[in-house]
Amino acid sequence: MEVLLLTCLVILIVYLLNHYYFTYWKRHGFCQMDSPMWLLGNISDLFFFRKSFSNCFIDLYEKYKHHKYIGCYFTYKPILFVNDPEVVQDILVSNFSSFTDRPRFVDEVRDPISTHLFNIGGQKWRELRFKLSPTFTSGKLKGMFPIMRGCGKTLRDFMLKNNSNGKNVFNFIDLFAKYTTHNIVTVIFSIDSDTFDDPDNVFRKISANFSEPSKRQHIMDIFSFLVPNILHAISIFNFRSVTANVNDFVMNFVAKIVKHREDTKFQGNDFLQLLIQLKNQGYILTKKNEEVEQNGDKTRSENINIMKKLTMDEIAAQVHVFFVGGFETSTATMSFCLFELCRRPDIQKKIQEELDNVFGASTNFDDVTYEMFNNLKYLECCINETLRLYPPLSILFRTCTKDYKMPDTDLIIEKGTSVYIPAIAIQRDAEIFENPLEFTPERFMDSPTGNGKANGGFYLPFGDGPRHCIGERMGKMQAKIGLASVLWKFSVEYNNKEDFGDMPELQKTQFFLRSAKPFNFKITPRI
């Protein structure tokens, strides 16, 4: 009898606790999603690998988009799911001061490589953002353009060589991964990495580690982004944001290169050299008239400790996030763009006509200038449309950093609450974009947001506001060079059209947007 009573008591306590945690939003006056699952909340599909990260949030959006915002639970953690573009704009831009951070696991002691610009918050983020902003000015990008153009030429030459040897079908996800890895390593370190011909290239292995995570790593990524407090609670297990071999390689390689440069007084025209400036003097030298974009951050320079210098761990962390961010976003953007261009050869032909017109009589890729690439307006529209349909990071995250009263209501978002914005679902909403699943680059010809309106929280491939992606221009230039390198010399088509439906199937163990199938496309040299 005592055992039975004790069992009943335990069941009752578990029930009451479950009910208490899963009624948080109701107690605070918000609507909430239906039927959170015990222990897992509203995202059980992610844990059981039934849906991709993107499709999970698209389905939640479609079911609840009649709510401007609605509460939900990821495990027992309350999350505010925001659907309305005006509320999105309010959170990301207008009232950014209440939502400055991301809900991301950071452990400076056990996992120093996690302390990069994407992850950190508060004053540390403000100082680092301010210091890194000169890294991505138009002047710095123009200075790095010859390096990036050379990487595009390497991609083109690799395809020409293989085509002359009888190969006319490539997995373009893998091919673009080799190109972006080669480009990023060159831009960061000024190292000519042999990512195309060497299957054992260490940098290609590192990038493959990011793009092909194990199921265990996928689960850890979910916890890291969605419920980082649980990882803090179990930090005795020594969780790391990357595998030990990746962590050790990046930390040791960066330290070795920095020491070599300081010992030999070598000055590279690359990203690492700018970070070395931050290590040695605390700021990056810019030209007198060079514009530094702070993306709307109202933090004034006098609030920044400009003399504070970066540590070696902080340098390695920035190299890591630059590598991951540049690799995943550009590889996905180019791959999905080419997928759509295979489906729409008429659009592909327009791009090729633009390339012929802008590049003129040039036959050598070395003759193509930075200004010529800036004049590829239709290709840029195609990239923007790809980013609308296939944003590499399909959901945006913010943490409420101080209690916030929702406009025109008495509802309060409490400090510490996570806010999620399903960017991919908003960008595919028929009420916002006409025929949203059709690839229509023309919608961006006269509108930077694709629908003729000023950005109101509905076009978000790089986020918005002060935490807008600092490397947007670099990423888009990398994608533009890669696509131009291919399409200037080749026409591309599906190798087997039956392999693909209207929309590509997405990987279920990948945080970034990525096709579950290889993009095997056939190339034909242009005459």
| Predicted local confidence at residue 300, as pLDDT | 42
Cα–Cα nearest to 475, from 410, 404, 398, 387: 387
CA atoms of 289 and 278, how far apart (whole Å): 20
Element (H, E) at 79: strand 77-82
**Which whole-number Å values give the CA distances from 393 to 53, 272, 381, 446, 508, in the listed order?**
10, 25, 19, 25, 14
Is 469 annotated as belonging to a binding site? yes
* 3-class DSSP state of 522: strand
Tokens standing for 351? 């791009």
CA atoms of 69 and 84, how far apart (whole Å): 7
CA atoms of 213 and 206, how far apart (whole Å): 11
* 3-class DSSP state of 336: helix
CA atoms of 238 and 247, how far apart (whole Å): 13
Sheet strand arrangement including 520-525: 169-171, 520-525, 490-494
CA atoms of 264 and 274, how far apart (whole Å): 17
Task: Name the DSSP class of 507.
Answer: P
* 3-class DSSP state of 249: helix
CA atoms of 35 and 450, how far apart (whole Å): 36
Local confidence pLDDT in tens for the 527 residues of the chain? 777 888 888 888 878 888 888 999 999 999 999 988 888 889 888 878 888 889 999 999 999 999 999 999 988 889 999 999 999 999 999 999 999 999 876 777 777 888 889 988 899 999 999 999 888 888 889 999 999 999 999 999 999 999 988 889 999 999 999 999 999 999 999 888 888 988 888 888 887 776 666 666 666 666 666 666 655 555 545 666 777 788 888 999 999 999 999 999 888 888 999 999 999 988 876 665 455 554 545 444 445 556 678 999 999 999 999 988 888 899 999 999 999 999 999 999 999 999 999 998 666 888 899 999 999 999 999 999 999 999 999 999 999 999 999 999 999 999 999 999 999 999 999 999 999 999 999 999 988 887 767 667 899 999 999 999 999 999 999 999 999 999 999 999 999 877 777 788 888 877 788 898 999 999 999 87
Evaluated on CA atoms 441, 446, 452, 458, the torsion sign reads positive
CA atoms of 368 and 148, how far apart (whole Å): 12
| Predicted local confidence at residue 324, as pLDDT | 86
Task: Name the DSSP class of 164.
Answer: H
Other Cβ atoms within 10 Å of 451 Cβ, number: 16
Backbone phi, psi, residue 91, to 5°:
-75, -45
CA atoms of 452 and 408, how far apart (whole Å): 27
| Predicted local confidence at residue 212, as pLDDT | 64
CA atoms of 65 and 181, how far apart (whole Å): 38
CA atoms of 416 and 402, how far apart (whole Å): 7
> Which residue pairs, CB below 8 angstroms and at least 24 apart, start in 19-25?
21/73, 21/76, 22/73, 22/76, 24/71, 24/73, 24/78, 25/70, 25/71, 25/72, 25/78
CA atoms of 333 and 426, how far apart (whole Å): 18
**Which whole-number Å values give the CA distances from 144 to 408, 480, 514, in the listed order?**
48, 14, 28
- pTM of the predicted model as reported, rounded to 2 decimal places: 0.91
Residue 421 identity: I
Q: Are 54 and 389 in contact (CB under 8 A)?
A: no
| Predicted local confidence at residue 299, as pLDDT | 43
Helix residue ranges per DSSP H, 212-243: 215-226, 228-233
Helix residue ranges per DSSP H, 360-513: 370-374, 377-389, 423-427, 472-487
* 3-class DSSP state of 1: coil
Query: What domains sit in the chain, N to C, each tagged with a CATH number?
Result: 2-525 (1.10.630.10)
Cα–Cα nearest to 250, from 324, 195, 180, 192: 324
Cα–Cα nearest to 95, from 87, 105, 107, 83: 87
CA atoms of 39 and 36, how far apart (whole Å): 9
| Predicted local confidence at residue 69, as pLDDT | 97
Tokens standing for 166? 């009888």
| Predicted local confidence at residue 237, as pLDDT | 54
Nearby residues of 317 by Cβ (< 8 Å), 6 or more positions away: 112, 113, 114, 115, 116
| Predicted local confidence at residue 302, as pLDDT | 47
Pairing relationship of beta strands 69-74 and 77-82 according to DSSP bridges: antiparallel
| Helix, strand, coil in percent for the chain, rounding step 5 | 55, 10, 40
Tokens standing for 106? 């950071």
